[in-house]
Amino acid sequence: MYEKVQSLSLQSRALLPVRWMPAESILYGKFTTESDVHSYGVLLWELFSFGLQPYYGYSSAEVVEMVRRRQLLPRPDDAPVAVYQLMLDCWQQTPGRRPTFEQILARLSEWRRAGAVGGARSLAAAAEVGRSLEFATRYFAAEVCVRIFLLLVFLKTELTDPFERQIRPEEAWVYSYPQMDSYVPGSALWFLVVSVPVATIGALFLINRDWIDLREAGLCSSLALLLTGIVTNCIKLARVDLPCTGSAMLVSEGRKSFPSGHASLAACLAVFTCLYLSGKLGTFTERGRRQSHKLLVLFPLLVAALIAASRTCDYHHHWQDVVVGGALGVAIGWICYRHFYPAVTEAGADRPHCVAGVDDTPLLPQHVPTSSAAAAAASESDVKWM
């Protein structure tokens, strides 16, 4: 086993087992424990392919190009989805995202105890869990339709006039505050609600190139924000009747003050961003311990708290409005995140619940040699790289 920081420089065109090597080993000559994990994933593929040569039918030069473009080996017919997921984890492009051998051993031991690997029954169950491309397309289309429906419901509740509840004269002092401009205008809040998830998810996609995580994170954040807006607006509709003058929009907005929409949306956005980044960085897992800089993922919570507090400073809300709105946003944000992602303390916190890679990962295109002689020649030439 190589040391974690060990790096070898390729001084000559040595013969190398490129079919088992990750991109950083082929291109830059880096051989580490993480590159060994990648090779172990290829070994697993060989075992479940009954000894089939990885990238069979391709020359070594073609294999190098395929590894560089991340054309992954397809799932063997007899490999359960859970085992293929382990292979994909071993083949992560970023070395730090690959599991350690201790984590691999723990996962295999858990499968052995649970009987999740081997046997016709487990294979059938794994096949049932795996999603085909057609199912994944239907799943995504259905999720998009749900969010379009939720958006229409949100707009309806946002534009509906509130129910006017009568108040006693002695209660009027509770609502008698001067009108002031918002420290955080609604336009600024909506800019944060839209831009922060897009920037966060987009930046991580550009780093990891993970299409499945891009899809799941987008679905998760949109569901959380829409549900928070709908629940907040529904509660807002029951409000007090006050003798108010001025713009009809301002009057309606003033009557719909409980709970605070700023507090609920900001809290929901902060919780999602914090949990999402924590899972990606492993802040609360073994690999994130004693790395204080990773605690900066908590910064969105501070921003959300300041936005909520500003609503009491500009006399737009009572503290009860802010507290209830913040609690509402935190609860919905956490529920939606856990609906799509595991707990941030788990080893696989950076991966969504869905079977990643089975339905969307670009797989190695099947290649059949034109003749048996060509296959024999390819096999003979590949032996030199062993």
- Amino acid, single-letter form, for residue 112: R
User: What's the confidence (pLDDT) of residue 163?
Assistant: 61
**pLDDT tens track of the chain, all 386 residues?**
333 333 344 444 457 888 999 988 888 888 899 999 999 999 999 988 888 889 888 888 888 888 888 888 888 887 888 888 889 989 998 888 899 998 888 888 877 766 544 444 444 444 444 444 455 667 778 888 998 999 999 888 877 776 665 666 655 555 566 666 777 787 888 888 888 889 989 998 888 877 878 888 889 999 998 999 888 888 876 655 555 555 555 555 656 677 888 888 888 989 999 999 998 888 888 777 778 888 888 888 888 888 888 878 877 777 788 888 889 999 999 999 998 888 888 877 888 877 443 334 444 443 333 343 344 444 444 433 33
Asked if the 18-130+374-385 domain carries CATH number 1.10.510.10, the reply is yes
Kindly provide the b/e burial profile for residues 103-142, where b requires at least 16 CB atoms within 10 angstroms of the residue's own CB: bbeebeeebeeeebbeeeebbeebeeebbeeeebeeebee
Q: Is 281:204 a contact under the CB 8 Å cutoff?
A: no
Determine phi and psi for 164, rounding to 5 degrees: -100, 110
Partnered with residue 238 across adjacent β-strands are 163
Which pairing describes strands 163-165 and 238-240: parallel, antiparallel, or unpaired? parallel
pTM as predicted: 0.53
Angle, helices 211-236/133-159, rounded to nearest 10 degrees: 20
- Write down the residue that tokens 């970023």 correspond to: 94
- What's residue 369's pLDDT? 39
pLDDT at 42: 93
* pLDDT for the residue numbered 117: 47
CA angle 194, 195, 196 (to 5 degrees): 100
Strand, coil or helix: what is 165?
Answer: strand
Structure tokens at 332: 């919905």
Residues 82, 355: Cα–Cα separation, whole Å: 8
CATH 1.10.510.10 domain span(s) along the chain = 18-130+374-385
pLDDT in tens, 121-134: 444 444 444 444 45
Asked if 339 is an active-site residue, the reply is no
Q: Where are the alpha helices (DSSP H) in the chain?
A: 23-28, 33-48, 60-68, 81-90, 101-114, 120-129, 133-159, 186-208, 211-236, 248-255, 261-281, 299-313, 319-340, 372-382
User: Maximum distance among all alpha carbons in the chain?
Assistant: 97
Helix (H, G, I), strand (E, B) or coil at 164: strand
Task: Return the pLDDT at 51.
Answer: 84
Interior/surface letters 296-312, b for 16+ CB within 10 angstroms, e for the rest: ebeebbeebbebbebbb
**What is d(CA 186, CA 262) in angstroms, rounded to the nearest whole number?**
8
C-alpha distances (whole Å) from 20 to each of 36, 55, 67 are 9, 10, 10
Whole-number pLDDT of residue 313: 80
Residues 311 and 306: their CA atoms lie apart, in Å, by 9
Query: What is the C-alpha to C-alpha distance for residues 280 and 277, in angstroms, rounded to an integer?
Result: 5
Does residue 318 have an active-site annotation? Answer: no
**Of these residues, 38, 262, 316, 318, which one is catalytic?**
262
Helix (H) or strand (E) holding 238: strand 238-240
Catalytic residue among 38, 293, 316, 317: 317
| Token pair 């994990």 in the structure block, residue | 37
